[in-house]
Amino acid sequence: MENNVENIIARANRIPVWSLPYSFLAIIGVGYFFTFYDISDIGLAMPAIDAQFHLGSSTSLFLALSVGLIGYGIGSYLIGSTADVIGRYKSMIITMALTALGSFGDAISLNVPELTIFRFITGLGLGADLNLVSTYISEFAPPGVRGKITVYTFLVGILGQAVTPFIGLELVPVYYDGWRWLFGIGAIIAFIALILRFELPESPRWLALKKKDIKKAEKILEMMERTAERKIGKLPEPDVTRVDTESGKFPTLYLFKRPYSTRLSLLVIVWFFWYIGNYAFLGDSASLLSSAGFSISSSILYLAIGAIGYPVGAIIMIATADKFERKYVIFIDTVVWFIGLTLFALKMDITLFIGSFLASMALGMYLQVAYTFTAENYPTRARSSGFALTDGLGHIGGAFGAIFLPVLVASYSFSFGFEFIAVTGLIAGILVLIGGTRATGKPLENISA
């Protein structure tokens, strides 16, 4: 059996091109589109919800946002670790079903408690989906173009973050129930993504290592090989090498053995610091600008124009993700983030536009490359669990940032608060630069060995 497992992995590693239909990337991208749409829509809806629910300066609305992020963390681990047991395919169906249900509930919520419940449900699905998509793509993408392929999918998704402010601008300030329509559109997108995902295959690496269905893994690989041969001709012979096929433990237990325990500790801290600023910027900026004296329309407009930076950042990564060592790329991304938020903190018209653009571009540059890097650091038998635990614990930083940024702004100043999240993002990049592994262009088994 082990020889069969090693042969399947060797056959997967010898394929140098994307060997599934490109429509599968689009299918995954639609789900990603919703993920990033939802990350943005709550922040855009918050000023209108605040006014309608008469919250004033209460922190209830920020708690509603943070509960969603807590859901991210719980969902990421529970469903993500389950994916190492029942498979990537089934788990990705579950995540999208939860997000569709949660987003529909967001749209019909009548008060903050209801919104909090449905934000939690949405978060359960979204947190796990971020984990699973990166794991899934990493296990299909060839080593030499793994970064580029994952960014292609991410580019479709990041458009959700780019267009959401413009949709919000047309709905939230204009219509009384505009924020409900904003969530409702997200629910429709999530439902479409759910239906499309039934077309996706299971990961042959997971099938082989879990010894679930070797014949099914071989059938998927044969399809991939035929696709690759039509593109480039005859494939090289598989280079069968020894692979650790142990799979009897609960997947999370592998993460507490070296080298994974060290990687887990580092990456949890990295994502904690990154998510502090990520979710504070996305979730609180519109409300904090509004509280600082800008109208709801102008507050959203600053972010909408800046959101053009999301796809720009992703396009930059398509050209660079596999040409340079990933940990260096990640560090540079955080430097751009620091510059953008430093400008945004100045709170002048021109610096708000430029700062929003650079911060958004940094997000577009950082996220998928860092997701890919995280997935690469763990073995196939516990890759989803490793990413899930990392991302789940990291999201605590997001919940912290969403609550703490308004407190900093109220206690000190707008500039102090946004400079704080500029620094936390830069810290994440410095940690990766100092302690991160080299991953670009290597087979997954070589990175995670």
Which of 33-37, 59-63, 64-68 is the least confident region? 59-63
CA distance 152 to 317: 9
What is the token pair recorded at 248? Answer: 């009897």
Judge contact between 127 and 71, C-beta under 8 A.
Answer: yes
Phi/psi at 114 (5° precision) = -65, -45
Question: Quick check: helix, strand or coil at residue 15?
Answer: coil
CA distance 449 to 439: 12
DSSP state of 180: H
pLDDT digits (tens, 9 = 90+) for 299-348: 878 888 888 888 899 889 988 888 889 999 999 999 999 999 999 999 88
Instruction: Give me the mean pLDDT over the 387-399 stretch.
Output: 86
- Whether residue 436 has pLDDT greater than 70: yes
CA distance 33 to 400: 25
**Domain extents in the chain:** 21-231+252-447
CA distance 414 to 406: 9
pLDDT digits (tens, 9 = 90+) for 98-133: 999 999 999 998 888 888 889 899 989 988 887 888
Residue environment code for 247-263, b if the CB has 16+ CB neighbours within 10 A, otherwise e: beeebbebbeeeebeeb
What is the token pair recorded at 111? Answer: 């008060």
Amino acid at 44: L
Judge contact between 212 and 89, C-beta under 8 A.
Answer: no
Sequence-separated (6 or more) residues with CB below 8 Å from residue 271: 370, 374, 390, 391, 393, 394, 395, 397, 428
- Which pLDDT score, from 0 to 100, does residue 197 have? 93
CA distance 311 to 301: 17
- Whether residue 93 has pLDDT greater than 90: yes
Phi/psi at 87 (5° precision) = 110, 160
State the DSSP string of 32-85. Answer: HHHHHHHHHHHHHHHHHHHHHTT-TT-SHHHHHHHHHHHHHHHHHHHHHHHHHH
* 60-86 and 260-291 helices, crossing angle to 10°: 150
CA distance 250 to 145: 31
- Which pLDDT score, from 0 to 100, does residue 164 have? 83
- Whether residue 362 has pLDDT greater than 90: yes
More confident residue, 105 or 238: 105
The total of other beta-carbon atoms located within 10 Å of residue 239's CB is 10
Instruction: Give me the mean pLDDT over the 59-76 stretch.
Output: 71
Nearest residue to 184 (alpha-carbon basis) of 122, 101, 104: 104
Residue whose structure tokens are 């919703």: 34
Residue environment code for 141-167, b if the CB has 16+ CB neighbours within 10 A, otherwise e: bbbebbbbbbbbbbbbbbbbbbbbbbb
Residue environment code for 111-136, b if the CB has 16+ CB neighbours within 10 A, otherwise e: ebeebbbbbbbbbbbbbbbbbbbbbb
Judge contact between 275 and 395, C-beta under 8 A.
Answer: yes
pTM: 0.81
- Whether residue 423 has pLDDT greater than 90: yes
Instruction: Give me the mean pLDDT over the 231-256 stretch.
Output: 74
Judge contact between 103 and 418, C-beta under 8 A.
Answer: no
- Whether residue 276 has pLDDT greater than 90: yes
Share of the chain above pLDDT 70, in %: 93
Fold of 21-231+252-447: Growth Hormone; Chain: A; (1.20.1250)
Sequence-separated (6 or more) residues with CB below 8 Å from residue 412: none
The total of other beta-carbon atoms located within 10 Å of residue 90's CB is 14
pLDDT digits (tens, 9 = 90+) for 192-235: 999 999 999 999 988 887 766 788 888 998 999 998 899 888 88
CA distance 154 to 138: 12
Instruction: Give me the mean pLDDT over the 235-257 stretch.
Output: 72
- pLDDT-derived band at 16 (thresholds 50, 70, 90) equals confident
- CB-facing half-sphere around the CA of 409: CA atoms within 13 A: 24
Length reported for the chain? 449
- Whether residue 360 has pLDDT greater than 60: yes
- Report long-range pairs for 188-192 (Cβ below 8 Å, ≥24 apart): 189/30, 189/33, 189/34, 189/37, 189/160, 190/31, 190/34, 190/96, 190/99, 190/100, 190/103, 191/100, 192/30
Q: What is the pLDDT of the chain when averaged over all its residues?
A: 85
DSSP state of 17: S
- pLDDT-derived band at 1 (thresholds 50, 70, 90) equals very low
Question: Quick check: helix, strand or coil at residue 109?
Answer: coil
CA distance 142 to 123: 31
